[in-house]
Structure 1
Amino acid sequence: MDKPSIKRRAGRPTPEVAEQKRNNLILVALDEFARTGFHAASLRDIAEKAQVSSRTLYNHFPDKLSLFEACLEQSGAQIRPELPDLKGDLHTQLATYAAEMQRQLFSPRSMRIARLIYREGSDFDELRKIARLQFERHQVSPVAALLEEEGVSPTVSHSLAKQFVAMAFGEWQRRLLFGGAPMTDGEMAEHATLVTGIFLSGIGTHLPQS
């Protein structure tokens, strides 16, 4: 006689499943924030579209601001290229980095999120603060690390890195604010090379003399 089958009791999700749910929540929330704006986005709608309960959402993110911060963290991490992949001299590394930053920033989702920050950040200090921290962490700090590897003093590397990133983002920001098609790969490479050359010429006194 066959033994009756025993149903396995539903337990707590494995860490892998929990992480998958969290990542899916972030992806759904990114699209929702980009589509509706921060204030209009509904956590209930996000949970429904991510196919999780509101309780599960709140277990991961206690409020809308913490969810938005996670969205910017993931978005910023995607923009930041992995430093070990950057090879060659400093000019080549910085030009490669600048081109990759632009490529990621011109993606439709990144453009929508950037417009959201420009639109709502002006009267929402917390939103602007989160965006600034992510910018410092994912775009500025890696450049500062590259400069320090070349002998630039840590006392000035961060300030110089911010100037480089501002230059590298210049054309992207212009098209974001005033309109225009995304840059082609060739245009990105040309712009990155130009910006890097101007930048390195200007900071020559901060580089060790060979």
Structure 2
Amino acid sequence: MTTASGGAQTTRPTRLPRSARRKQLLAAAQQIFVAHGYHAAAMDDIAERAGVSKPVLYQHFPGKLELYLALLDTHCDAIIAKVQDAMRATPDNKERVRGAVRAYFDFVDHESEAFRLVFESDLRNDPQVRERVERVEQGCIAAVTETIISDTGVSAAHAALLASGLVGASGQSAQWWLANGRPTPKAEAESLVTSLIWRGIASFPLQGGSSAGTGEEIG
């Protein structure tokens, strides 16, 4: 494009809203962190991947650790929300169990980069990173604990222990499934893990005397 005087007109890059720019930077950072690991990743590489200058990157994140922690917070909140939604979506306890299992399998299947970033980080020994990973586990356990208490009337300690078993089985199974190349179809894997968990938790009585479930096999 030229100006009226015949000179070339410089086209400025589109200025994104701050929230959109932050999202763009986080997406670029995730790709670099997953590809190279935290320690080998460089802010230069992240800025280049995002198509911005380093000063723009530093306007949003003062350092590499802050950028990494922001990514962890985003994904930690997402997996906790998925489990909470599964507990609230239905009063049917079989479906709640299925929903909790599906939350983990969906996370590792559709957001495998995010899963590896959170659970397979080469920065796991950093206290701030470890706190966030533990927050995921505790947040998911809390969501399931509340449901077990309201449905069965068992003590908080017993409910938390049962919830930790459900969350642990779901998360570990999903992690194994991903690490081993998704050896069975996702729906089949979810059904197998759901059946295993349900056979145990269905034996606990609901408040009012009936069992937590019919004991029917989930397929």
Q: Give the TM-score normalised by structure 1.
A: 0.73
Q: Which amino acid aligns with 1:166?
A: G
**Structure 1 pair 193/175, CA: closer, same or farther in 2 (3 Å)?**
closer
Deviations 1:1-57 (A, max 9, x none): xxxxxxxxx9xx78xx11011111111111111110011111222122212333333
Describe the SS at the equivalent of 1:136. helix
Distance (whole Å) between structure 1 residues aligned to residue 201 and residue 149 of structure 2: 14
Q: State the distance in 2 between where 1:98 and 1:114 align.
A: 18
Partner Cα separation in structure 2 for residue 88 and residue 75 of structure 1: 27
Paired position in structure 2 for 1:144: 145
Offset of residue 111 of structure 1? 4.7
User: Which structure has the larger Rg over C-alpha atoms?
Assistant: 2
Q: Distance in 2 between matches of 1:201 and 1:106?
A: 27
Match of 2:96 in 1: 93
2:192 maps to 1:188: no
- The CA deviation at 1:201 is 4.1
Distance 1:67 1:182 in 2: 34
1:45 aligns with 2:45: yes
Unaligned runs of 5+ residues in structure 1 are 1-9
Q: Is the 8 A contact 2:32 2:41 kept in 1?
A: yes
Q: Deviation at 1:86?
A: 1.7
Distance 1:136 1:88 in 2: 22
Identity %: 23
1:24 has 2:28 as partner: no
Give the corresponding residue for 2:135: 133
Q: Which has the higher contact order (CA 8 A, sep 6+)?
A: 1
8 Å CA contact 2:119–2:133 kept in 1: the answer is no
SS at match of 1:106: helix
* In structure 2, C-alpha distance between the alignment counterparts of 1:197 and 1:114, rounded to whole Å: 27
1:200 counterpart letter in structure 2 = I
Moved >6 Å (runs of 4+): none
TM superposition shift of 1:77: 3.6
Structure-1 residue corresponding to 2:215: none
Identify the structure with the greater helix proportion. 1
The 2-side partners of 1:59 and 1:198 are apart by 52
How many residues of Structure 1 are paired with residues of Structure 2 in the alignment?
192
